[in-house]
Structure 1
């Protein structure tokens, strides 16, 4: 389906209520843990020789799409990237379809031709080409504005993507034309194997400011606090058509892909100390462990089912 056909299907999300922020909802905890166990399972399958190629896990960053999901509507168009499993799963809760896509099995979201990085489904598109999504997202935002639709174009990028010229061209147009564009920056401090400190002059905030684009930095990994913080800001993007850059100060627990982590052990340990997993478990161990086990079993069952399916036409084991 085309963008024009899909866009009217969604309406703006309902405002958050006080009760939504009092405690972490079961659905949010389940989503966080589903993504975590999905990524862990992928790494296990690679280690067992049951997957080929490569993959880029979002371990440590799962809370970002889970936080954003209720603030977005089905009509909003999401543009993801190479590290996008969590973005997809937070939106669709479809581990079977995604794993089938990655393994080239029947039931694959895109018939097995997209693999780990390139997914298209219902106002969702991921690509491994850094920066490519920004101009496309600006075009989607322009369509929403011209059509009078209450939708937002959301694009996930990393700190390394700020080395691409298309980012700045898109920001310029988005601000000049006042487009409902939300740029979500998952800043984990390292671009593949290059630390941000030696890769980027200035700051993300400074670069957004150069185009007169609003910038907001998120340092928490608490889903409840993030939603309360971002709800009015995203509402402004949606209804006042003002672009926004939201920068998450986050961590990457694993390597860039499967085995290219050049960080010293102390940096990896520092990243793990900031992980949401143990912090949430400490709040209510019994509740956490119950959901954790449920999601572990869910993903184990999904993996067993998917790997038993035939390969899609043209695929080889």
Structure 2
């Protein structure tokens, strides 16, 4: 099916707001918009980790600190009808896509007003075309399937799935690359290569070329090594449009680095390595492009918003038994069935 035959209108339940809507006064000022979004991600996660230490979160958490430029550089090019599949390190992706820190905070704290009623945490989000799962590689078949479904229905849409370098060890990824190429899926696989898969350096677990793995299945593949938000934004603009118009899959590698631990208590990286990489922190780079007055205004707005978001989340009740007893879950076998 050629691009001209595809429909323009997405389903209503997949509609999304402009990620920069809360900074509408910045229209045309890309530098300010990107800094506002990145600042929101950074401060959300810093406050999230502080609440984790106080025992206010349900389950563990995986922060995106240091990789904010990836999320804003990719997701800002998406539009209504497109979908995103993310992983355990999803907060940055979601905050750009959904711009709802209030509901995300409530979900991570297991509160009834969370994105899925406080039942799933960050690894089980389902919200208006945005999906997460913590199973490495397991999100790729879902993204592939939905991209093909949208193609069959004639929708002018793409699916983006975010994976890490550790996912290259999962066989299901290569099955999906093969099928995506054979069937012509409008799928963009964004591989965030942060040099470490949990506590294993990538040079010890990835043989050969990341790009050639995708090219072996007939996919276009490219890469960018940068923590500069505007560089990444410029890089992905044409790529996403090409996937949309060609209705062909593509893999794109972002060589990046997380400045935080894998999870709250798991970091085997040499301290000197992490400290050296702080020179590439994307936030200071982007702040330099914004005037001091505007940067301070953005930072104050973000702090005020997050204060309200976390206060509202902490004031909510935990889900009731009735809420947890979702009809969709009835009949599923329990641990002793």
For residue 162 of structure 1, give the secondary structure of its aligned residue in structure 2: helix
Contact in 2 for aligned 1:21/1:224 (Cα 8 Å): no
Instruction: Give the C-alpha shift of residue 22 in structure 1.
Output: 8.2
Q: Work out which of the residue numbers 118, 127, 140 in structure 2 matches 1:121.
A: 127
Instruction: Give the C-alpha shift of residue 219 in structure 1.
Output: 1.7
1:252 is aligned to 258
What's the TM-score, normalizing by structure 2? 0.84
Q: Work out which of the residue numbers 310, 321, 329 in structure 2 matches 1:303.
A: 310
Q: How many residues align?
A: 303
Alignment partner of 1:102 is 2:113: no
1:266 is aligned to 272
Contact in 1 for aligned 2:161/2:190 (Cα 8 Å): yes
1:8-41 residue CA offsets vs partner (Å, 9 max, x unmatched): 4479xxxxxxxx9985343322111111111001
1:56-104 residue CA offsets vs partner (Å, 9 max, x unmatched): 0111111212122231112011111000011111011100101111111
Instruction: Give the C-alpha shift of residue 133 in structure 1.
Output: 1.3
Alignment partner of 1:193 is 2:206: no
Instruction: Give the C-alpha shift of residue 270 in structure 1.
Output: 2.1
Instruction: Give the C-alpha shift of residue 308 in structure 1.
Output: 1.5
1:45-66 residue CA offsets vs partner (Å, 9 max, x unmatched): 0122322421001111112121
2:171 is aligned to 165
Alignment partner of 1:134 is 2:140: yes
Distance 1:80 1:275, change over 3 A: same
Structural mapping, 1:225-236, within 5 Å: 225-236=231-242
1:3 is aligned to none
For residue 117 of structure 1, give the secondary structure of its aligned residue in structure 2: helix
Instruction: Give the C-alpha shift of residue 213 in structure 1.
Output: 0.9
1:275 is aligned to 281
State the Cα RMSD in Å. Answer: 2.2
Structural mapping, 1:1-317, within 5 Å: 7-9=10-12, 24-283=30-289, 284-314=291-321
1:230-257 residue CA offsets vs partner (Å, 9 max, x unmatched): 2222111111111111111111111000
1:14 is aligned to none
Gaps of 5+ in 1: 1-5, 12-19
| Matches of 1:252 and 1:229, distance apart in 2 | 20
| Matches of 2:298 and 2:88, distance apart in 1 | 28
Gaps of 5+ in 2: 1-8, 16-25, 325-337
Instruction: Give the C-alpha shift of residue 269 in structure 1.
Output: 0.8
Instruction: Give the C-alpha shift of residue 286 in structure 1.
Output: 3.5
| Matches of 2:192 and 2:158, distance apart in 1 | 18
Contact in 2 for aligned 1:106/1:312 (Cα 8 Å): yes
